[in-house]
Chains A and B, each alone.
Chain A
């Protein structure tokens, strides 16, 4: 330390808040005798303008270079006094606060007791302030662009908002089309809007937006860097169809030698498609894709004499030589909108989903009732023997939700309502059908939800409280076995169709995203937000935000709201153009680091990496802190056996004297 510390101690009366239980004058005169203390004063309100000016004047007059304010909690006024001393030309980190209000005068009522304690707190602050170091906050430029991962309704909405605000958006979608789960839905509760009708305009918008670079059939490979400066690498998978040439006419799919042989993912496997396909008629972009695992030419190297698709394509778009492409770009923020997986009911074998074709999931029901679905919207089902129009329909709710046996304790939040909606749709299409819904509770909490639920009940849909224990076959009927828990009577219900109200689960590929972005999972295995209430779209990684069901089950209004929230949060660094890097970060003493990597393992922000340095001719590994990622928690430091990594302002040699000061005085 080049400069000799000259400490000023300022004891605040805080009106009578402090002065009534702490003898402030005595504290000041005590402080004057402490090492390196040049000035010690009291004032009625240190935080007032005259109070702050007092400090500033003393700094000028006495050449103070360290300041102690003995007043309220640093959580209250540390920023205030930092600014004060900075304005007087002292580094803002040469400040230490002694909390003699919240943790002294307010919790002790005896002057004889509170005064000695306040002295100790001041002494400890003096011990520390002498050893503090000057720190500089730095600012780095933020790249005015955002990466949005996933182009379901959450990703689309976030991308549109940011693009409309004038920032560049890279929208990366794994499947060949944007739209996500919402595109698969028929109607939306409770207003019964046609899902496609409200979604497709947004899909088209995001594909045509000048600020959005849409990358479908693409996956994020690598993300490095930090807020304001993420380096992204995206793999654009080979479609084997020239994106620019393809007109979306569909001749290739019609002529494909394996035409309509493969289950159509969009129709939940209920419809069929060719090896070259458009996921669904309204797909955006309307460009065909060849499935490399199904195409005869790509799997066997041979497709008749020549691939038919290639023959019929009038524009010569089919290109079997195409390879995966990699694109690299920089963004300032990232929005994760990777969505959910529907619960796989095979995990509850008692419901016979794998055994009976007329036990289907809610998502399958959406396709079944959809006019664009495999049956053209006609509700017919194979009961194992013949294709019939079901007369007896049962819905079962909470399949895979609120169920510890499958590890999902949470409520999926949409099943109550979509089941009610589907019951309504069945009623509309099959007016004579008997419809019942097995439920545990009905949760109709959203705007218009309770009203919709009431309406469905009035439409002669029976709600039976009971969780079915088993579904089995009797003749050409399915038997739903349950207990009506309101009447305590066992039920054996013969039906033609069972719809399982499956819930949401975190995406299977979540781990990849977690590793890419250093995200964590909450107890329910969805992505963990930074704070459940006050930072629900933020994550622990600065500059990375969550939107939609990847953070937890949500309905469409909540998803859109969160997407808009994430978009506006992501735009903060973009609009400012700069991000401030905290100064209180950890620092490695490379001369003593032994390279064990404990700190690297510990750091929750992956802010520490091992780097190779040359120590006297030997290549050795030492830890190095990325100051932009470090939050200064210091967990690394407590594990460092050689004390080589230390958080600034909370270094061992700054804390140990504090301990000594507190221990020394009785």
Chain B
């Protein structure tokens, strides 16, 4: 990835009169941290990076734009927001277009073909983090780590994030501007995480998830980071009716996690952000990917690919599977 070109493109985009700001990735405060960058001028465009550390899905911020009440007579700022997207992120943008979460004219999509990002936890485990901000680049073999002035070559398989092993869309499916050449797609791995759970019997599965959900803190990080959980008034925050009680116990935790997964059925684009940010390490990706696979294989639908598609949960086919019906 040619960072100069990326920054130059970004600078050009933010210089446009019809663009309010640009969402990109920049270095965080220490170690492997990455922070979302809200770039408003050419100068700060120079801070942008794109590296295997850039796991964050910036599409989330498209629907988080603050809308403080406007004084009467004041026009809202309707300039476009530019956003840098990897393949998976671009599917979130597409899904937002399907759901009218954003309008096509309100965004400038800067596509960044992505050879796959790293699993931050694995990275920190194998190559312990230090205070110094580290750099990670893509190399021919996989990744090149620059930390404390040292360069280390790391094999791709060693660190590649699970969602990337399973990725089928490394290149953005929608973009206005592409930065860099499309990457060669790879054969996705079999989803062993899901298969492993499916291989157990119902009781063991229940126990497995009971253990996982019991750890849930109900911090709602998974909801907040999800680019497709953008209801301004989430049903989880409602009192009338109270779908799910706020108390943290196994029953409510399970209900919450199932409701969250179900609300994403046919919408989840498998960016893996929920699982990444979960402080309790609940394998939320498995839930999402299980449903995504069923949606794909049984119903022939893939969210976030075709902006003209009918939303999965708001459509049907006369020959949808019904072998489960008595």
Is A in direct contact with B (CB under 8 Å) within the complex? yes
Q: Interface code A67-86, partner B: CB below 8 Å = 1, 0 otherwise?
A: 00000000000000000000
What are 10 A-to-B residue pairs whose CB atoms are below 8 Å?
A592-B232, A594-B101, A594-B230, A601-B310, A602-B315, A616-B67, A617-B71, A621-B100, A641-B235, A642-B231
Given that A617-B69, A619-B76 are known contacts, is A598 also in contact with B314, CB under 8 Å in the complex? yes
Q: How far is the CB of B75 from chain A (nearest CB, A)?
A: 8
> Is the Cβ of A652 less than 8 Å from the Cβ of B241?
yes
The smallest beta-carbon distance between B295 and chain A, in angstroms, is 15
Q: How far is the CB of A624 from chain B (nearest CB, A)?
A: 15
Q: Is A222 among interface residues, defined by CB-CB distance under 8 A? A: no
Q: Complex: how many Å from CA A643 to CA B231? A: 10
Query: Contact mask B60-81 → A, CB, 8 Å, 1/0?
Result: 0000000111111010100000
Contact A641 B100, beta carbon cutoff 8 Å: no
Residue B201 lies at the interface, judged by CB distance under 8 Å to chain A: no
In the bound complex, do residue A616 and residue B100 qualify as a contact, i.e. CB atoms below 8 Å apart?
no
Please name all residues of chain B whose beta carbon is closer than 8 Å to the beta carbon of A595 when the two chains form the complex: 100
> What is the interface of chain B mostly: helix, strand, loop, or mixed?
loop
Interface residues in A598-634 by Cβ distance below 8 A to B read 598-599, 601-602, 610, 615-619, 621
Bound state CA distance, A644 and B232, in angstroms? 11
Give chain A residues whose Cβ lies under 8 Å from the Cβ of B311.
596-598, 601
Least CB distance, B72 to chain A, in whole angstroms: 8
Q: Which residues of A contact B71 (CB under 8 A)?
A: 617
A486 at the binding interface (Cβ < 8 Å): no
In the complex, A639→B231 CA distance in Å?
13
Q: Which B residues are in CB contact (< 8 Å) with A616?
A: 67-70
- Asked if A591 lies at the interface with its beta carbon under 8 angstroms from chain B, I say yes
Q: Which of B74, B232, B313, B314 contacts A617 (CB 8 A)?
A: B74
Of A601, A618, A639, A642, the contact of B76 (CB 8 Å cutoff): A618
The answer to whether the Cβ of B246 comes within 8 Å of any Cβ in the partner chain is no
Bound-complex Cα distance A232 to B71 (A) = 41
Bound-state CA distance A602–B310 (Å) is 10
Instruction: Report which of A592, A602, A619 forms a contact with B231, defined as CB distance below 8 A.
Output: A592
Residues of chain A within 8 A (CB-CB) of B76 are: 617-619
Identity of the chain B residue whose Cβ is nearest the Cβ of A615 in the assembled complex? B67
* Interface pair A602/B314, CB less than 8 Å apart: yes
Closest to B259 in A: A641
**Is B129 among interface residues, defined by CB-CB distance under 8 A?**
no
Q: How far is the CB of B187 from chain A (nearest CB, A)?
A: 34
B315 to chain A, nearest CB (A): 6
Complex Cα gap A598–B266 (Å): 13
Q: Does residue B247 face the partner (Cβ distance < 8 Å to A)?
A: no
In the complex, chain B residues whose CB is within 8 Å of the CB of A596: 99-101, 311
Known: A592-B233, A594-B232. A643 touches B67 (CB 8 A): no
Nearest 3 CB-CB pairs, A to B? A617-B70, A616-B69, A598-B314
Interface residues of B in 170-201 (CB under 8 A from A): none
Q: Which residues of B contact A615 (CB under 8 A)?
A: 67
Q: Which residues from chain B contact A644 at a C-beta distance below 8 Å? A: 233
The closest CB in chain B to the CB of A643 belongs to: B235
Docked complex: B96-117 residues within 8 A CB-CB of A: 99-101
Q: Are A641 and B263 in contact (CB under 8 A)?
A: yes
Q: Are B314 and A639 in touch, CB under 8 angstroms?
A: yes
How far does the Cβ of A614 sit from chain B's closest Cβ, in whole Å? 9
Chain A positions within 8 Å of B325 at CB level:
none
Shortest Cβ gap from B267 to chain A (Å):
9
Given contact pairs A616-B70, A618-B70, A594 touches B231 in the complex (Cβ within 8 A): yes
Interface membership of A472, Cβ < 8 A: no
B115 to chain A, nearest CB (A): 33
Task: Say whether A653 contacts B241, CB under 8 Å.
Answer: yes
- A656–B240 Cα gap in the complex (Å)? 10
B238 at the interface (CB under 8 A from A): yes
For residue B68, which residues in chain A have a CB less than 8 angstroms away from its CB? 616
A315 to B263, CA, bound (A): 71
Complex-state Cα separation, A22 to B69, whole angstroms:
59
**Neighbouring A residues of B326 by C-beta, 8 Å:** none
The docked-state distance in angstroms from the alpha carbon of A428 to that of B325 is 60
Question: How far is it, in angstroms, between the C-alpha of A644 and the C-alpha of B231 when the chains are bound?
Answer: 10
CA distance A657 to B241 in the complex (A): 9
CA distance A640 to B99 in the complex (A): 12
Q: Is the CB of A601 within 8 A of B314?
A: yes
Cα separation A349 to B183 with both chains bound (whole Å):
49
How far is B315's CA from A656's CA once the two chains are assembled, in angstroms?
25
B234 within 8 A of A: yes
CA distance A644 to B238 in the complex (A): 11
B247 to chain A minimum Cβ distance, whole angstroms, is 16
Q: How far is the CB of B87 from chain A (nearest CB, A)?
A: 24
* A contact residues around B314 at 8 Å (CB): 597-599, 601-602, 639
| Bound Cα distance A491, B188 (Å) | 60
Interface 1/0s, chain B 36-80, versus A by CB < 8 A? 000000000000000000000000000000011111101010000
With A and B bound together, what is the CA distance between A644 and B234 in angstroms? 10
Q: Closest A residue to B228 by CB, please name it.
A: A641
Q: Knowing that A592-B232, A595-B100, A657-B241 are A-B contacts, what are 17 other residue pairs whose CB atoms are under 8 Å apart, sorted by A's residue number?
A: A591-B233, A592-B231, A594-B232, A596-B311, A598-B314, A599-B314, A616-B68, A616-B70, A617-B71, A618-B67, A618-B76, A641-B235, A641-B263, A642-B235, A643-B235, A644-B233, A656-B243
Q: Mark A651-664, 1 if CB is under 8 A from B, else 0.
A: 01100110000000
Report A-chain residues with C-beta under 8 Å of the C-beta of B72: 617
* Inter-chain contact A643/B69, CB cutoff 8 Å: no
Q: How far is the CA of A602 from the CA of B240 in the complex (A)?
A: 25
Residues of chain A within 8 A of B232, CB atoms compared? 592, 594, 642
Per the 8 Å Cβ criterion, residues 280-326 of B in contact with A are 310-311, 313-315
Q: Which residues of B contact A642 (CB under 8 A)?
A: 231-235
| A641 / chain B contacts, CB cutoff of 8 Å | 231, 235, 263
Minimum CB–CB distance from B76 to chain A (whole Å) comes to 5
- Chain B residues, Cβ within 8 Å of A617: 69-72, 74, 76
Query: Which residues of the other chain, B, contact A591 by a CB distance below 8 angstroms?
Result: 233
* Identity of the chain A residue whose Cβ is nearest the Cβ of B234 in the assembled complex: A642
List B217-253 residues whose CB lies under 8 Å from chain A.
230-235, 238, 240-241, 243
Using Cβ atoms and an 8 Å threshold, which residues of chain B touch A599?
A: 314
Q: Which chain B positions have C-beta within 8 A of A619?
A: 76
**Cα–Cα distance between A291 and B311 once the two chains are bound (Å):** 44
What residues of chain B lie closer than 8 Å to A602, measured between beta carbons?
A: 314-315
A639 contacts B313, CB within 8 Å?
Answer: yes
Kindly provide the distance from the CB of A122 to the nearest chain B CB, expressed in whole angstroms: 21
Residue of A nearest to B263 (CB): A641
CB distance from A660 to the nearest CB of B (A): 10
Given the interface pairs A591-B233, A617-B69, A618-B70, the reply to whether A601 lies near B241 with Cβ below 8 Å is no
A639 to B72, CA, bound (A): 35
In the assembled complex, how far is the CB of residue B141 from the closest CB belonging to chain A, in whole angstroms? Answer: 43
**Distance of A168 Cα from B311 Cα, bound (Å):** 43
Closest to A657 in B: B241
Is A656 a contact of B241 with CB atoms below 8 Å?
A: yes
Q: How far is the CB of B42 from chain A (nearest CB, A)?
A: 29
State A619–B310 Cα separation when bound (angstroms). 24
CA distance A518 to B37 in the complex (A): 47
A653 to B238, alpha carbons, bound, how many Å? 11
Distance in angstroms between the alpha carbons of A652 and B99 in the assembled complex: 23
**B77 nearest CB neighbor, chain A only:** A618
Question: Complex Cα distance A643/B242, Å?
Answer: 12
Task: List chain B residues, Cβ under 8 A from A597.
Answer: 99-100, 311, 314
